[in-house]
Amino acid sequence: MKGIILHGGHGTRLRPLTHTGPKQLLPIANKPMSEYCIDSLKDAGVKDIAIIIGGLGANKVQEYYEDGEKFDVKITYIKQEEPKGIAHAIRLCKSFVGKNKFLVFLGDNIIQKSIHSIAKDFENSDDDASILLCEVENPTRFGIADIEGKKIKKIIEKPKNPPTNFAVTGIYFLTPKIFDIIDHLKPSWRNELEITDALQIMLEKDHKISYHMITDYWKDTGTPDDIIHANGVVLKNMKPYFHGKKEDGVFIDDKVMTGKGTILKNGSQIIGPVIIGKNCIIDSGTRIGPNTSIGDNSYLSKCDIEDCIIMSNCEINYNTKIRKSIIATNSSIVSNSTNQGEKMFLLGEGTKILL
């Protein structure tokens, strides 16, 4: 079985974070979200992977993953010149797939469930496709499956009146039969070729489509709140480790992960789950609260942060509370004042704030 990761799109709901690169490289627990897709594919036994790239920062994807050797996979890059939909991106992979069954991941989907057994079942089945479903609170945001028993009756893209709350996740098990369907697809109102339309046509032509329910965790990380939430969930499921140094008088509670070269100064507090990257300095008087990620080479002083993602090479030297924030690489917030209220930031790469 081969694998495909869709790594394009504009990420408009995540601006300014996506002004300088693709959303799928934004870190969750200090690792790009699309790397979790590679981990899931490897777990499913898939190591021959095509990554569909396009749009701003496509070169950053190639720079990070290269040929895939350091991730123990083989990566082929396929360019989508303009965003014409998921089905269009999949069609670009026809030569790569050949006669093999294949597994597609949208690069911004995070799951905590192993799909190894599902992949095995699909490989050994006569199914033409298989999809993963997950119950959601806001079904109008997603493609929705109407099911009856073990059978899918209908698949609808973002329905105004959803028949169920079973969202079609961005994870698809497919066979080459999908390519003939895509070749006859008409663009949707968004002028895109929709994978949900292709699956619906397969149902109408009596192709066999099975489904599995995700009952653990799945998140389509389309908004800053989604990313912050996913960050907290992933942190809770990590095993703690401590490769840095801590001075006397450091308070640590719950699950904490700390990289090499990082120093926790006397009087700092770390309340997990928290991950701190390599070569960071957490200065005296700093409190890092639950569900927070700190990237490599960052310096934090005096601040009190929770539910935040601070990327690499950042400086925060500000005596205030910071909550539910995402601060991109090479950014800084510096102030000599003391603010007793709470602050929330959404800062793009290289932002400098002096208060």
Looking at residue 195, which CATH number applies to its domain? 3.90.550.10
DSSP state of 246: E
Residue 10, pLDDT above cutoff 70: no
Residue 56, pLDDT above cutoff 80: no
Strands (E), 80-136: 102-106, 109-111, 129-135
Residue 15, pLDDT above cutoff 90: no
User: Residues of the chain with pLDDT > 70: what percent?
Assistant: 98
**Residues 270, 231 within the same domain:** no
Highest averaged pLDDT of the listed ranges 130-134, 210-214, 273-277, 338-342: 273-277
| pLDDT band for position 14 (cuts 50, 70, 90) | confident
Of 200, 235, 270, which closes a domain? 235
Residue 221, pLDDT above cutoff 80: no
Highest averaged pLDDT of the listed ranges 115-119, 164-168, 307-311: 307-311
What does the alpha-carbon distance between residue 132 and residue 174 come to, in Å, rounded to a whole number?
12
**Residues 230, 258 within the same domain:** no
Range of the domain at 324: 238-354
Of 212, 235, 258, which closes a domain? 235
The whole model's pTM is what? 0.91
**Average predicted confidence (pLDDT) for the chain:** 91
**Residues 327, 222 within the same domain:** no
| pLDDT band for position 74 (cuts 50, 70, 90) | very high
Contact 255, 237 (CB under 8 A): no
Of 235, 252, 283, which closes a domain? 235
Residue 87, pLDDT above cutoff 70: yes
**Residues 166, 283 within the same domain:** no
Q: Which residue did the predictor score with more confidence, 140 or 176?
A: 176
**Residues 277, 249 within the same domain:** yes
pLDDT of 222: 76
pLDDT of 139: 87
Buried b (16+ CB within 10 A) or exposed e, 287-310: bbbbbbbbbbbbbbbbbbbbbbbb
| pLDDT band for position 160 (cuts 50, 70, 90) | confident
Q: Which residue did the predictor score with more confidence, 298 or 60?
A: 298
**Residues 270, 203 within the same domain:** no
What does the alpha-carbon distance between residue 86 and residue 81 come to, in Å, rounded to a whole number?
13
What does the alpha-carbon distance between residue 289 and residue 271 come to, in Å, rounded to a whole number?
5
- Average pLDDT for residues 77-97, to the nearest whole number? 92
**Residues 272, 304 within the same domain:** yes
**Residues 166, 265 within the same domain:** no
Residue 127, pLDDT above cutoff 90: yes
CATH number for the domain harbouring residue 275? 2.160.10.10
Say which amino acid occupies 250.
V
**Residues 257, 223 within the same domain:** no
User: How many domains is the chain built from?
Assistant: 2
Tens digit of each residue's pLDDT (9 = 90 or more) over 266-285: 999 999 999 999 999 999 99
- Average pLDDT for residues 112-126, to the nearest whole number? 91
pLDDT of 150: 83
For residue 306, give the 3-state DSSP assignment: strand
**Residues 103, 40 within the same domain:** yes
**Residues 50, 134 within the same domain:** yes
**Residues 246, 345 within the same domain:** yes
Contact 272, 29 (CB under 8 A): no
pLDDT of 9: 66
Contact 142, 40 (CB under 8 A): no
